[in-house]
Each structure stands twice: as C-alpha cells, then as structure tokens.
Structure 1
Amino acid sequence: MTKRIRRILFWSIVAIFIMVTPLFFAYSFGYFFDFSQWHWIKTGSIYLGSSPSGAQVYLNDKLAAGKTPVLLKHLKPGHYTIRIVKDSFASWEKTVGVVSYQVTEFRQIFLPQKEPALSLVGATEAKKMLLFVAPAEKMADAQNYLNQQKINYTGLTLDSDKFYFLKKPGLTLFQKNFTDTDKPQQLSLTNLDTCDCSLGEPQIILGAKGKISLITPEKDLLLLDNQDFRLVQRQVKAAGFDQWADKLFISTLTNELWVYFLAPTGSQPFHSAGENIFLTRFSTPIGAVAWYLDNHQILFEHDHRLKMIEIDNRDSKNIFDLLPVRDTEIFADFNAQKIYLKNENQIYSLGLKKT
C-alpha cells in the first residue's frame, strides 16, 4: 500500500468519524434525522407498566424489545398502536400519541385473568365479614336511639363506629358515634328543602377522609363540601368513592358510567379536582358497580355479564368481559385486597390475578 493510499484511507476514516459522531450523539440525546424532510426531529418515549408485569409489548404490530415495565425510546412524534399481551390474561390495546421531549406514561395497565377464579365463601365467614348486609344489631341500636330522642329522620346509614342520618324537616345531615353519649353532630348547614321524600329515601354515600355524598329522591348526586351540599350530576342511579375518596364512580339512569375527580391526579393522565369524565354508554341498564382494588378500574354488571373498564380516557377505553353473573352485588374489601360477589344467593371471592 502506497503512502498516498494510506493518506486517503486515513482522511476518509477521519471524515466518516466526523460525520457519524454528531449523529451518534444526537441519537443518544433523543434526536432523529428525517431524511424525507431533511431536518432533525426531537423524539419522544412511551412508558408502559402493567399488572401483572412481564407482558410482551407490540408497537404497531411489531414485537418490541423488553417486557413490562418498559420504556420505549427514540420514537418519532405521532400515533402508535400499542398492544400488551401475556399468556392466560386478557390483552390491552390503545392508540398512543407521542410528543417531542415528552414521555407518555401508562403506569396502571391491568390485565385480568382470562378465566377468573371464583371461590365460594362459607356462610359463617360471610356473616363474620358482614358483607352486603348492614349489621342488624347496630342498625337496631341506631333506630332505637333516634326513636327515643324523637328525631324524625331518613336515610339512616351505618359506618364502623358511627351512624349518619338526615333530620326532618329540612334534611340536615348529622352523625352520631355509637359509643359516646354526646348529641349528634351537625355536618351540613344548608337544608335540602327541595327534596321530595315521597319519591323515595335519600341515599347517603360514605368515603374515606370524611367525604360524604348523597343521592336525592330526585336522583341528583350531591357532594358535601365545606358543610354545604353542591350538585355534581343529575339522573344518577348509583355512586361510590374509591379507596382514598379521591374519585367517585357515577352510574346514571341513562346507562352511562362517569368518573368524578375530587382531587387532582399526580400522574398521567392528569385530571383536576372537579373534573367529570365520561367512560361509556350502553343501550340497556347497568347493574351493580364497584371500584376494583387498584382504584383505576371499575367493575360492573351489564347484560348478565361481569365486566371491567379502565378509567384512562386517552383513546378508547379497554372493557374486559369477565364472566356470567345475574343480579350481582359487588363488594371491594380494600383492607383484605379482595373482591366479593353475591350471585344467586351465594357469596364468592373473585380472583382476577394468578397467585
């Protein structure tokens, strides 16, 4: 090899190094060169976390490297179809938008077991847990107290150590401890004179951190806020707080499911306090509704099937068809991390995860 050829090779390598090095550093900092438009593009990322973990990820129908939890990096801005798959579990799919300089996060993906396990709960255990039925002794104690005090009331509701009622006339909300001798404590200042109790009994709904809501006989959902009831939504059939009373599910007489946020969310998708988001609508009535244990999915009965819907409203919502049920009551025991179903006079423990 002559000296001239060696010099040409050397400077060729130097030139290639000079051209490639900026590309390498640009890619490492999240940039992508679009040759079709001949300019640099700042890429984005998608973070995917699932329960159970270890699920495969398909990006636009192509298997991606790594399993959940996983960060998909160096993605051009745009929309991608993501599918999460794991053997023996239902798959999850959503169209995801990617934005430059940002990580789009899906941290609460839940994959229910394809064939959920139902375990019959014995009558003794069911009675001990006081599932679905208010403790008769405590209910009688509360009624006896109110009658002895000659209090005209409606909407009597029990908690573990308290009972709540609306005092007539005016329907002012009170609470009373079972164990002390103090007078009932007034919780609301404004009267609900517009409520017509001839249409039915108001339903008091209790949540953590002292949160209380109310469904009036006219089917208006009210929330107690600084000792005043304010309207949240009309034509409400049922509602319930999640474990931390940060959210309310709302089931309407028009066969819709909504989620009302009482506090801002700290992770994606971001929601502000007071935001009410629509989840789904059916042409036939929705039965029993309850929060799932992770507070990010909702269980409900529809057309004699137990179903689950995610509350992430980005793109379409994943709805999972779990198993056949009929006239089912659903109870979430957040302390024991168990879901119970009362189906055809039997109580079952529902398993949606493999142990």
Structure 2
Amino acid sequence: MQKIYRKIFFWGIFILFLISTPLVIMHSKGYRFDQKRGIFVYSGSVTLKTIPSSVRIFINNEEQPSRSLDIINNSITLNGLKPGTYKIRVTADGYLDWEKQVEVHSGLSSEFWNVVLMPQNPQLKGIESHKTARLFPSPFGKKIAYFEDLENNIFLWVTDFKENKTQLIFSKDNVSASRDRLENLEWNFKEDLMLIPVTRNNQKDYLIASASQDLSPIYLSEISRPGDIIKARWSPQEKNVIYFLARSNSENKSNLYRVSLDNNTLQLIIPGVIAYDLSQNSIYYIQENNILFKGNLEGGNITQINDNQFTDQPIGDGARLIAYDNERQALISQDGDLFVHNNGNESLSQKIASSVQGVQFSDDGKKLLFGTPNEIFVMFLRKWEVQPYRDENEIQNVIRISSPLENVFWFRDYEHILFSADKKIKLIELDPRDRRICLDVFENNLDDFPAVYDTSNGYYFFLRDESGDKRIFYFTLPEKTGIFG
C-alpha cells in the first residue's frame, strides 16, 4: 500500500507541476486569467511620473505597494493589469489628489508623464510693499519692481531679494505709469536697468531707471529724436542699448531705431517697420507688406523669412509680433486677430483666432498658448509622439468659462496652464484623457489682481489685500521638496 501511495503522491506532484508551470510562465509573460471571459488575456500597465515623486497610488480604491522609481526618468509603473477601465488615484500628504479613469489595453502601457499634485495650502510669503498697482520680477528672479497706485504721480520701488532690501528708485509728480497691461516694465538682461512706459506732459514716453541708482533717471525722449515713441525694448546682448519705433508728425511710417546709453548715439536701423521682435542675436520685423524679415541686431544681413504674407489686410500700429525662430512666429493684429506661421513637416500660414489677448510659446517651441477673454487654447506646432498624442498644427480648446480669464501663464512643465478667474488662482492640465483636471490653487481676496509666474524659479507673484492695503505675496509652484522630490 505504501508503494501505491508513493506513486499517487509522485504522479499528483507531477501533474500539479505540469499544470502550474505553464501558468507561472504565462504570468511571468504578462498573461492574466479573466474570470468573466474565462480566458487568459495579455495584461497592460500604467506608467506615472509625478510631482512630488513620493506619493501613494490607489487602483479602484485599493492602495498599491510602494514601488521604486525608475532610475532613468523617475516614473512608477503599475504592471500586470488586465485590459479594462481603472480608477487611478494619486495622493500625498498636504496635496490635492489626482484622479482619473484610465483605459488599460492588452500589451500596452498607458503613460501619464505630467501628474502634478497641488499643495492644499501654498506657503505664502510677503514682500515689503504697499499700495501696489503693478509688479515686475526681474528675469532671474533676484529683484522685483513695483508701482504705487497713484493716479497722476509715479512711485517706483525695487526689492532686492539677495540683500533683503526695498528702496524707492524714482518718484515724480505729473508722471504716471502706463495702465495698459500690454505695456510692461522691462528689465535688461543684467537686471540692473529698467525701461518703464509712462505718460508725462500728456505724451507717451519711457523712463530709464537703475535698480541700484548708479544711473540718474532719464527719459528716452531726451536722448532720442522727437516724435511718437512706441514699443521700446532692451537689447538682448548689450545692457545699455534700447530699440524702439518712432515717427515724427510729418511721417506716416514708424522707423526702428537703437540708442546707446553709453554715448547717447542714435542709429536708424530699419525704416518703415510696423511690428518687430528681438531674439538673442536677431531682429524679426514686418513692414507694410506684412511679410516677415530678419536682420542682425545692427540692422544688417537682411533676409526674407517667409514668402507668404501674414495677411493681406492692414494689421494696425498696435500689432504685436512674437517670433520663436525662423520656423515659428505669431502675429496679433491691433484688432486681436491671431496669425501663425509654422514651417514644420507641414507648412501653415493662416489666421487662427480672433479677439486674442496674448500668446506664449513653450520653451521648446512645440506649443503655442493663446487666449481670448473667456477661452484658453493650445496649438501644437510639432507632432507629439508620446502620450497623449497630438498632431502637428492641432488646436485644442483647453477651457471655456463665462467669467473673464486673467493671468494666463505656462506652468513650468508646459503641460499645465495657470490662470485666474473669480478671485481664484487655478491650474489646468492639457491632457484630455478622461477629463482635464482643473484645480483651485489659491483663493485671493481681490476681484481683479495682477500676477506674474516666474517659470524658471517657480515663483507665483500676485497682489493681495491686507488690512486695506494691496501688497505683493508669492508662493512656489511646484513646491521645493528636497533633492529627491
């Protein structure tokens, strides 16, 4: 009998081995048994890259074991998921949850490379300021300039973050800073000089002031030719050189000039310019024919960039040109019509939208953000071959609301957009899968407030009421959480 039992035991183990071995192999290869269908199916996965990187992940409300981050791209992959729809929730202490219904397909990975969790209570920091009307951080975030809110007088203050010092730079009666939101104080690239659009003697002018007060404040009209001066800009290469458009009462066309503060040398660069933009080493400009040209910063080596006109209609003196490079440019007419030139795999040159308030290229030039008073759009200038996939020249309506949209900025990953509406600072993602997640980042106590997002450092500056006084505050997005996120 013992011999029979041994045979039964042996053959039982052998049969179990024959049955289990294929199951183990199939499981290791990614196959899972679907009880509803009664068959084995090839599993899929979900890949997440999150900010912050230390998070908890739930699938259908069941918390998943913690996983190590991929050493190459700091992502987390959830393997072995049977094809179907899953509720994926990402949480972290002190942050708002991220949650989506995710489709998992056999043999494929559903990838989410830009999962951003917003802090529940951003840490506000105040800047010494009072009665603030507008604010202007310097290019590298070392300083911030602001105006006091005075109707017919100007008080210009600058805070130096490194020295933790705020000082009055300039004040003058019967001189007022421009209230046009399209006209901003501009810092030079050294962060020591400012160019400020003002009104004095009922004429438009530009004040030149030093943040360290090394240079006595002067007006651009005092060192340039007489006439209407518009669209003044600092040189991207020479810290004491300014470009501007001007024309006298006897002229019908504006000319592009440059002036050096070192010796007050005025130079005519290009005649008959309607709109221009400066890159690191070039001038892009449009004349009456609405065809784009490019020259060096001295006005030489002129070349025609595009054969086609932006439009055959007048664009107005208030038109704005925004050039990313020779292949990608945008033009906003004085009436708010947006025209885009995009020379990618497919060449596009046409009107894109109306009533446009502003445009911003992404840092890599692959996306163009633009908005109307109540809508935000993104145009994809290059084919996007990672999830979510996008076609070249595809335009997506990111959000449409009845309230006015203000303070529209790219978030630093260029896959989210910051904006404000109804007192709230909000963040919305571009990824439309399931739905676009739109989060309330912070609720302000002012109905209308200027704000600036410093993409490089992640600082969001804005005005807030404190005891009846408008002061500057800021918080960091995304929050700094240490070297490992």
1:134 matched to 2:198? The reply is no
Tell which deviates more after alignment, 215-224 or 52-61: 215-224
Name the residue aligned to 1:330: 452
CA 1:318/1:209 → structure 2, altered by over 3 Å: closer, same or farther? Answer: farther
Q: CA deviation at 1:257?
A: 2.0
The amino acid across from 2:476 in the alignment is G
Q: Is the 8 A contact 1:291 1:332 kept in 2?
A: no
The amino acid across from 1:9 in the alignment is F
1:203 matched to 2:255? The reply is no
Q: Is the 8 A contact 2:327 2:342 kept in 1?
A: no
Aligned pairs for 1:242-253 (under 5 A) are 242-253=362-373
Pick the aligned partner of 1:261 from 359, 376, 380.
380
Aligned pairs for 1:62-211 (under 5 A) are 62-67=62-67, 69-120=75-126, 125-127=143-145, 132-135=184-187, 136=195, 139=233, 141-143=243-245, 146=256, 148=268, 151-159=271-279, 163-167=283-287, 169-175=288-294, 177-178=296-297, 180=298, 182=300, 185-192=303-310, 194-197=312-315, 201-207=318-324, 211=328
Q: Within 1, Cα distance between the matches of 2:125 and 2:326?
A: 32
Q: CA deviation at 1:188?
A: 4.0
CA 1:181/1:17 → structure 2, altered by over 3 Å: closer, same or farther? Answer: closer
Aligned pairs for 1:254-293 (under 5 A) are 255-293=374-412
The amino acid across from 1:51 in the alignment is I
Name the residue aligned to 2:27: 27
1:222 matched to 2:354? The reply is no
Q: Within 2, Cα distance between the matches of 1:142 and 1:132?
A: 14
Q: Is the 8 A contact 2:283 2:299 kept in 1?
A: no
1:43 matched to 2:162? The reply is no
The amino acid across from 1:44 in the alignment is G
Q: Within 1, Cα distance between the matches of 2:62 and 2:342?
A: 50
Deviations 1:319-348 (A, max 9, x none): 1111134332334343xx333434367555
The amino acid across from 1:231 in the alignment is K
Tell which deviates more after alignment, 21-30 or 182-191: 182-191
Identical positions, percent: 26
Q: CA deviation at 1:115?
A: 1.8
Q: Within 1, Cα distance between the matches of 2:395 and 2:299?
A: 40
CA 1:40/1:143 → structure 2, altered by over 3 Å: closer, same or farther? Answer: same
Q: CA deviation at 1:172?
A: 3.5
Tell which deviates more after alignment, 25-34 or 134-143: 134-143
Q: Is the 8 A contact 1:339 1:349 kept in 2?
A: yes
Secondary structure, counterpart of 1:231 in structure 2? strand
1:12 matched to 2:30? The reply is no
Q: CA RMSD in A?
A: 3.2
CA 1:23/1:177 → structure 2, altered by over 3 Å: closer, same or farther? Answer: same
Q: CA deviation at 1:46?
A: 0.8
Q: CA deviation at 1:284?
A: 1.6
The amino acid across from 2:454 in the alignment is A
Q: CA deviation at 1:9?
A: 1.3
Q: Within 2, Cα distance between the matches of 1:228 and 1:274?
A: 8
Q: Is the 8 A contact 2:58 2:64 kept in 1?
A: yes
Name the residue aligned to 1:319: 438
Q: Is the 8 A contact 2:408 2:417 kept in 1?
A: yes
Q: CA deviation at 1:142?
A: 2.3
Q: CA deviation at 1:189?
A: 3.7
Name the residue aligned to 2:427: 308
Q: So what's the TM-score if we normalise by structure 1?
A: 0.85
Tell which deviates more after alignment, 92-101 or 345-354: 345-354
Residue segments in structure 1 that go unaligned for 5+ positions in a row: none
CA 1:225/1:317 → structure 2, altered by over 3 Å: closer, same or farther? Answer: closer
Name the residue aligned to 1:2: 2
Q: Within 2, Cα distance between the matches of 1:97 and 1:283?
A: 32
Q: Within 2, Cα distance between the matches of 1:97 and 1:228?
A: 34
The answer to which structure has the higher helix fraction is 1
Name the residue aligned to 2:223: none
Name the residue aligned to 1:56: 56
Secondary structure, counterpart of 2:388 in structure 1? coil
Q: Within 1, Cα distance between the matches of 2:390 and 2:62?
A: 32
Residue segments in structure 2 that go unaligned for 5+ positions in a row: 70-74, 129-136, 146-157, 160-182, 188-194, 196-207, 209-231, 234-241, 247-254, 258-267, 465-469
Q: CA deviation at 1:205?
A: 2.2
Pick the aligned partner of 2:359 from 214, 217, 239.
239
The amino acid across from 2:328 in the alignment is K
CA 1:315/1:297 → structure 2, altered by over 3 Å: closer, same or farther? Answer: same
CA 1:236/1:350 → structure 2, altered by over 3 Å: closer, same or farther? Answer: same
Tell which deviates more after alignment, 109-118 or 146-155: 146-155
Q: Within 2, Cα distance between the matches of 1:333 and 1:312?
A: 20
CA 1:153/1:40 → structure 2, altered by over 3 Å: closer, same or farther? Answer: same
Q: Within 2, Cα distance between the matches of 1:209 and 1:12?
A: 75
Q: Within 2, Cα distance between the matches of 1:283 and 1:64?
A: 40
